Amino acid sequence: MNLSELQTLLNRFDLTPSRKLGQSFLVDDNISQWIASQLHVGPDDCVIEVGAGFGALTEHIAGKCRRFILVEKDGRLAEYLAEKYGPLGVEVVHADATEYDVRPLFREGGVKFIGNLPYSCGNEILRRFLDAPSPISEAIIMVQKEVASRFTAEPRSKDYGILSLMLQERWEATHLKTIGPGPFHPRPAVDSSIVRFDRRASDSLPLHSPEVFASTVKQGFSQRRKQLPNNLTVEKERAAEVLESMGLKTSVRAEELALAEWVTLSNHLDPHPCSALPPSATELLDVVNEKDEVIDQVTRREVHEKKFLHRAVHVFLQNKQGEIYLQLRSLLKDTHGGKWDSSASGHVDPGESYLACAKREMWEEVWVQPKGDIVRVARLDASDATDQEFIEVFLAEPKGKIRVHGKEVDSGCYFPVDQIEQWIEERPQDFATGFVTCFKAWRAN
């Protein structure tokens, strides 16, 4: 699309670009094509584009992927996009991207994201789509150069701060190119940068709680120029002790700590209940017979390797909207690593009741206790569908804010029940075997 074509469309839709919203349209087709090519779109991919405008990037992606979704806030632009690209199978959603429900995208098995994000709300859009757990597998973003600098900032620089760390905890951000005002209409007063986001390797940082990490970072940067112990909510003596144990001076400021050091600091200041548990493979479990009677006691590894019958619980945590919290299991788990599972689940310890186990697993995996009664909603006999476990399923409302730790859980999110049912139907491979069986048993009751 060139400037003449854009002006024709602006006149047709009686549209004046909003400087307040940072609305500028790309009018250089070579640059548009180059940006779109950085996403490496394949025929089996699902792609979502935010802020498509008149389709400068869309033009170079439409027809090349299995599913293509455009999210556009301006109703007139959405109408045009549907008219032009609808016949090519492109789905146009007239919505505010800062409020877009990303949860149905998990059913796609990995989504590629691209967007020329408006300056006014680009950070909010990124949080919506990239915060963990995220359905996005990779992203190409164009934003104001100053904002992009914060994405890729290193310690001890003026751009390094909360936004840098929140994104870099999960993503590798790479600056690809900076573009001046020339290829846009109207010309913005600033340069723009294209940044690529790739998922950070799961083993590149120490295991930690993402919620505690975020809280610690926000505390640390609450007053940027102050020495770090003055910003943290723990006593100064405790903060100093932790910093010294990490080989840092007590006079250190927030901007001096690297990402991994922030992770380590958060682990010291507020350790998760499961962070100090012994390796799960050496855990002793009861072996039971077909009547769920204890007949032996062996290690967890042996239970799984020899497929002995044993006991477990699954807990569904439900919020006031009736949604169920699902956890994305840590890749370190000895079974079903990286799969979606119940809110909390685990083996019954020797001599422990199913109910006591359910309460313990809630605390160890998601750091909450039940609010009110915890109700048993199903019981399943051991079978291949339950990984040889006798299972009792419980439903509870959590008391307090859910937090997780990478040793047990990667991340989690509340999902509407009907979305979960559709997700299981379309992609059962995304879930731990026991969860699917337990969920269906609960829904059948």
Q: Which helix (H) or strand (E) holds 72?
A: strand 67-72
pLDDT at 284 over 60: yes
Q: Which domains does the chain have, with CATH numbers?
A: 3-199 (3.40.50.150), 210-269 (1.10.8.100), 280-444 (3.90.79.10)
SS3 (DSSP) at 374: coil
How many beta carbons lie within 10 A of that of residue 156, not counting itself?
11
**Residue 137 vs residues 92, 200, 308, 404: alpha-carbon distances, Å:** 21, 10, 37, 21
Q: Is 394 exposed, middle or buried (0-12, 13-18, 19+ CB in 10 A)?
A: buried
The residue written with tokens 């109700």 in the block is 375
pLDDT at 332 over 90: no
Tens digit of pLDDT for each residue in 215-239?
A: 999 999 999 999 999 999 999 999 9
More confident residue, 151 or 202: 151
41 pLDDT band (50/70/90 cuts)?
very high
pLDDT at 178 over 70: yes
CA distance 361 to 270: 19
* Average pLDDT of the segment spanning 57-78: 96
How many beta carbons lie within 10 A of that of residue 336, not counting itself?
16
Of 27-31, 125-129, 270-274, the poorest mean pLDDT is in 270-274
Please report which residue ranges of 254-386 form alpha helices under DSSP H.
259-269, 300-305, 354-366
CA distance 29 to 206: 44
CB 155 within 8 A of CB 117: no
Q: What is the pLDDT of residue 97?
A: 96
- DSSP secondary structure code for residue 334 in this structure: S
CB 304 within 8 A of CB 337: no
Q: Is 403 exposed, middle or buried (0-12, 13-18, 19+ CB in 10 A)?
A: buried
Q: What is the pTM of this model?
A: 0.93
111 pLDDT band (50/70/90 cuts)?
very high
